[in-house]
């Protein structure tokens, strides 16, 4: 009889933890799933100077923070030893986006064209969950394609991150982690 009561008590606690949303948040741990769907680079190193074009939204979803993606991608590049060119210069040289990426010439620099292919960001601020697919093409100084990278990623924040960050910071943190993963999957710049 005592064993049966213990079993019912344990089941009751599990049911209570499942029903109370706060318990779900406290027991969840950070989960990051990154799938590299394509990674092809012609060389072991990429030019240190990179011009990052405006990020394109190919997901069909609204609300993709394209400017944040570009800024955080540039930050991740700098953290890995690259030297991203200024956005104003790149935008001017690319004709404000009127030129195809392979037509953009930046003296002494490669061109990085990043697009968001899948976006599931409706729960980034409220639940700390973001799913996205990023497609990157890098063009050499002559406009030839020197590499492609296609990353599919989903992340849940840890309970500590979730509770410590504001809704806007949650979305930024996950997006920053995604850009760091993207750059970490690329060849680095040549050694000095």
pLDDT of residue 175: 93
pLDDT given for residue 62 in this prediction: 92
Looking up residue 110, the CATH number of its domain turns out to be 3.40.50
**101 DSSP assignment:** G
pLDDT at 1: 59
Count: domains in the chain: 1
Q: 187, 45 in Cβ contact below 8 A?
A: yes
Residue 16 lies in a domain: no
Local confidence band at 160 (pLDDT 50, 70, 90 cut-offs):
confident
* CA–CA distance, 161 with 85 (Å, rounded to integer): 32
Tell me how long the chain is.
192
CA distances from 104 to 28, 115, 139, 142 (A): 45, 16, 9, 9
Predicted TM-score (pTM) above 0.95: no
- How far apart CA 77 and CA 154 sit, in angstroms, is 21
Collapsing DSSP to helix, strand or coil, 185 comes out as: coil
Please report whether residue 111 resides in a domain. Answer: yes
Is pLDDT larger for residue 188 or for residue 128?
A: 188
Domain boundaries, position 45: 29-184
> Would residue 166 count as lying in a domain?
yes
Quick: pLDDT tens for 25-49.
333 456 788 888 889 998 899 999 9
Stretch among 69-83, 90-104, 138-152, 154-168 having the lowest mean pLDDT: 154-168
């Amino acid at each position: 009889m005592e064993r049966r009561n213990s079993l019912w008590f344990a089941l009751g606690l599990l049911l209570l933890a499942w029903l109370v949303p706060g318990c779900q948040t406290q027991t969840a741990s950070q989960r990051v799933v990154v799938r590299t769907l394509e990674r092809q680079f012609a060389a072991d190193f990429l030019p240190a100077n990179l011009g990052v074009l405006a990020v394109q939204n190919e997901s069909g979803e609204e609300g993709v923070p394209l400017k944040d993606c570009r800024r955080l991608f540039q930050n991740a590049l700098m953290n890995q030893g690259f030297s991203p060119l200024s956005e104003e210069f790149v935008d001017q040289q690319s004709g404000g986006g009127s030129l195809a990426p392979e037509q953009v010439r930046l003296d002494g620099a490669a061109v990085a064209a990043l697009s968001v292919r899948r976006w599931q960001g409706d729960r980034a601020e409220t639940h700390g969950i973001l799913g996205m697919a990023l497609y990157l093409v890098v063009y050499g100084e002559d406009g030839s394609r020197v590499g492609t990278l296609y990353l599919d990623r989903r992340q849940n924040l840890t309970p500590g991150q979730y509770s410590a960050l504001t809704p806007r910071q949650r979305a930024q943190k996950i997006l920053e982690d995604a850009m760091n993963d993207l750059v970490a999957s690329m060849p680095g710049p040549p050694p000095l």
